[in-house]
Structure 1
Amino acid sequence: MEWSRQFKLAVSFSVLLLVMPFTSNAASAQDDLLIPMGHSIGIKMDLSGVFITSDVMIGKDNWLKAGDLIGQLDDVSIGTLKEFEGTLSKKRDQKEIALTVDRDGDKNRIQTDGEALKRLLPFLKDRTEGTGTLTYIDPDKGTYGALGHQIIDSTLKSPPSFKTGAIYLSEIGQIKKSTPGNPGYKISTIVEDEDFLGTIQINGIYGIFGSWNNSYKKVLAEPLQIMHPADVKEGAAEIFTTIKGTEVESFTIEITKVESEQFQISLTDPKLLAATGGILQGMSGSPVIQDGKFVGAVTHMYVDDPKKGAALFLEKMRKGEK
């Protein structure tokens, strides 16, 4: 089912959200406690192979397509960009090299040469990276949830097939403000490249999920009770997010409409609006709190009015862990 028709010109950092009917098990979720976060995170995912990032000609009448997966150079299997470069350096002088690629499940074998493959290097990737906001930690399960939407690789235009991944605490250095018609974004850097917050095990429509690194107790807040969607009401609320450094701050918002699959919000905090101009790319996943309970996570913004957006109920988001 699609988002509400009112979401014209909405920037979506997600794919379609499926309607999940309420069951009797959901009522018990109110008794669960989750820790709301709001920290800015850097995301790194090692892809399941070496992918082509753009349509590119490899030889006469031979085109590689964005999303093609490199399988072999001659009879040598390729799994990483380093392996591709190492194998190519040994074969660079060969007049003919057989390149095997997987395209939508079909294997294609293309005859080319070392120079053509060398020119291919700028169009290859075996890793994807991004930014977002950490939503919650489940202290009982030792798991986390972030973003509230699926990661879509910007060059592959699809959810990346990945082998391993991790999230890292990141520091906000600058902000490009949102203006009507122009979504803003956070400019951040990872604080400790070797020190991860958690591993990524699932990249699904409700967010990214994985195991939490318990050594990061220093960034944990107090756990809150989950609010059932039926109890969410229009009116004052707050979000936890980071707009400078690594400090998580609370900002006032208004819940303007509660729907069956989502709720709509409007930023009202003068400090937040002065710093950001509205919802930013990288702010998705920011926890929403109402009446001291954990409601959900910010996932969308309006392009034409960036002060407004939408959020996913936390109960629904947690289904992504399964």
Structure 2
Amino acid sequence: MFIESLRKIMGGILLVSLISIGFSSFFQEYINIPKSITVFEGQQLQLAKAVPVSVSLNHNNSSVSLRDKKNTINISGTEQGNNEMLLELAGFPIKKVDVNVLKDFKVIPGGQSIGVKLNSVGVLVVGHHQVNTNDGKKSPGEIAGIKVGDIITKINGQRIEKMSDVAPFVKDSGEKGKPLQVVISRESGEFTTNLQPLKDENEESYKLGLYIRDSAAGIGTMTFYEPKSMKYGALGHVISDMDTKKPIVVADGQIVRSTVTSIEKGSNGDPGEKLARFSSDREVIGNIKRNSPFGIFGELNKDISNGISDKPLPISLSHQVKEGPAQILTVVDNDKVELFDIEIVSTIPQKFPATKGMVLKVTDKNLLEKTGGIVQGMSGSPIIQDGKLIGAVTHVFVNDPTSGYGVHIEWMLNEAGIDIYEKPRQKAS
């Protein structure tokens, strides 16, 4: 009877002990260690650990080195490859952590103000207008089922690249009374429609009843470029047409240097704007090959300098970014790139490409005095934390111009066609 009671007491003590361990700080530290860790060659990562836990590597290769200290685990990426870290408690394995070491990678941060010139694929329909005919006002474009946001890519089998390509077809069709065969690109797909130009009685000319545009221009900020391939990323968000609000499908484009002439300071409800002009020499410094939700991308013609941080910097992946102090590189006066203080308010360790990965707040008194916070034209300004490029400014909060969103740099690199996850080459046996 006594022995049975003793067993129950000991069992209760053991259960309470296990529960207390489960909620203890060092057990929580063990739980918080991720199942997978990624570092770059030459980088170190420090993790907090429970005091009784010991660590070791499962594979005998040189990709990772460990320093098992009393309260921390120091992980160093020594060579591109993979390994497995084992955590043990009293000689029993309690967790396995995959460690992936990526090839050493650095990019040169931007911050320069750039002018952007985009040429769309075909010509973009941005509106309808009524043609004054003998039978009243009509829009041939509407009659043909063409909508705002559609892109005219071909007329009578011929590719359309700019607005001036359209006029000869319209004149010829009107004079012959033969409708045009127009190929339309729309988000839902591509289709062909017949479009008959009508004669405007007031102007004695044939018209389509459409407003069209073939290019767009604006300013933004360079984020980075990779010095070997000369691939770059800028803006951090998609360029949309000002009338249709739809992303511009890029045929080609150019970036040029630009100079900030003045700042319209932001306030609640009004985010403000950088006022800038293209540099007088209009020198093209790069092309534009892609316009995506993560910015514009292409290749530079030559190296460019920001005059403040021109050395290649390592990057941080989304799960390595932390809340706390950071800085941005941007221009608020002429073409001078400056470094300003910000705070990373929150960050999401994204596993898949997505915009708005960080929330940031401008804390720099000088920048707040000049701009009120984040203004239009600042998009693409590189974000630096602990000497690493972590992302770019993308959007401002309209009701709080001191704050806004940022995009993680790894997604911009992916859109630029830069593979940071390149697999190691097999060694010859």
Bin for the TM-score computed over the shorter chain: 0.7 to 0.9
Equivalent position to 1:102, from 157, 160, 184:
184
Tell me the residue number matched to 1:258: 347
| Contact 1:224/1:293 (8 A) holds in 2 | yes
Partner of 2:371: 276
**SS, match of residue 128 in structure 1:** strand
Deviations, residues 202-251 of structure 1 (Å, cap 9, x unaligned): 22222221111115468681211212434432222110001111111111
Quote the offset at 1:86 in angstroms.
4.4
Aligned-residue RMSD, C-alpha = 2.9
Q: Equivalents in 1 of 2:103, 2:271: separation in Å?
A: 34
Counterpart in the other structure of 1:15: none
Larger deviation: 293-302 or 87-96? 87-96
**Distance across 2 between alignment mates of 1:235 and 1:149:** 24
How far residue 290 of structure 1 moved from its aligned partner, in angstroms, is: 1.5
Structure 2 CA distance, aligned partners of 1:266 and 1:142? 31
1:17 matched residue in structure 2: none
Q: 1:72 to 1:309 in 2, by over 3 A?
A: closer
Q: CA deviation at 1:84?
A: 1.9
- What SS class does the counterpart of residue 278 from structure 1 fall into? coil
Shift of 1:275: 1.2
> Does 1:224 find its partner at 2:313?
yes
**Partner residue in 1 for 2:121:** 48
Alpha-carbon distance in structure 1 between the residues aligned to 2:382 and 2:338:
11
User: Is 1:186 matched up with 2:274?
Assistant: yes
Deviations 1:248-293 (A, max 9, x none): 1111111122222322211011111111111112211101111222
Q: CA deviation at 1:64?
A: 3.6
Residue 68 of structure 1, CA deviation: 2.6
Gap regions ≥5 residues in structure 2: 1-35, 41-99, 131-138, 351-356, 418-429
2:212 maps to what in 1? 124
Distance 1:130 1:310 in 2: 20
Q: What is the rounded CA distance, in whole Å, between the counterparts of 1:76 and 1:292 in structure 2? A: 52
Contact 1:94–1:114 under 8 Å retained in 2: no
- Counterpart code for 1:106: F
- Please identify, of 161-170 and 24-33, the stretch whose mean Cα deviation from structure 2 is larger: 24-33
CA–CA distance in 2 between the matches of 1:214 and 1:84? 36
Larger radius of gyration: 2
Query: Using the alignment, how far apart are the partners of 1:29 and 1:60 within structure 2?
Result: 54
State the AA in 2 paired with 1:301: V
- State TM-score, norm by structure 2: 0.63
- How far residue 72 of structure 1 moved from its aligned partner, in angstroms, is 5.8
**Greater RCO between the two (CA within 8 Å, min separation 6)?**
1
Query: Structure 1: where are the runs of 5+ without partners?
Result: 1-21
Q: TM-score under structure 1 normalisation?
A: 0.82
TM-aligned CA deviation for residue 24 of structure 1: 4.9
Q: Alignment partner for residue 84 of structure 1, among 166, 172, 194?
A: 166
Secondary structure of the corresponding residue to residue 130 of structure 1: strand
**1:144–1:103 Cα change, 3 Å:** closer
Q: Which amino acid aligns with 1:124?
A: I
1:155 to 2:243 alignment: yes
What amino acid is the match of 2:369? A
Q: Shift of residue 170 of structure 1?
A: 0.9
SS across alignment from 2:401: coil
Cross-structure match for 1:204: 292
Residue 237 (structure 1) aligned with residue 319 (structure 2): no
Q: Secondary structure at the match of 1:54?
A: strand
Contact kept in structure 1, 2:261 and 2:334, CA below 8 Å: yes
Q: What is the identity, as a one-letter code, of the residue corresponding to 2:335?
A: T
Does the 8 Å contact 1:88/1:114 carry over to 2? no
After TM superposition, give the deviation of residue 70 of structure 1 in Å: 3.1
How far is the alpha carbon of 1:74 from its aligned partner? 6.4
The residue number in structure 2 matching 1:174 is: 262
| Most deviating of 133-142 and 187-196 | 187-196
CA gap 1:217/1:282 in 2 versus in 1, 3 angstroms:
closer
- Candidates 127, 132, 151, aligned match of 1:69: 151
Distance 2:148 2:141 in 1: 18
1:33 alignment counterpart:
106
Question: Contact 1:97 / 1:113 at 8 angstroms: preserved in 2?
Answer: no
Q: Using the aligned pairs only, state the percent identity.
A: 33
| CA–CA separation in structure 2 for the residues paired with 1:72 and 1:295 | 42
User: Which residue pairs with 1:142 in the alignment?
Assistant: 230
What per-residue deviation string (whole Å, max 9, x for no partner) do you get for residues 27-49 of structure 1?
65583111111111111111111
SS in 2 for 1:273: helix
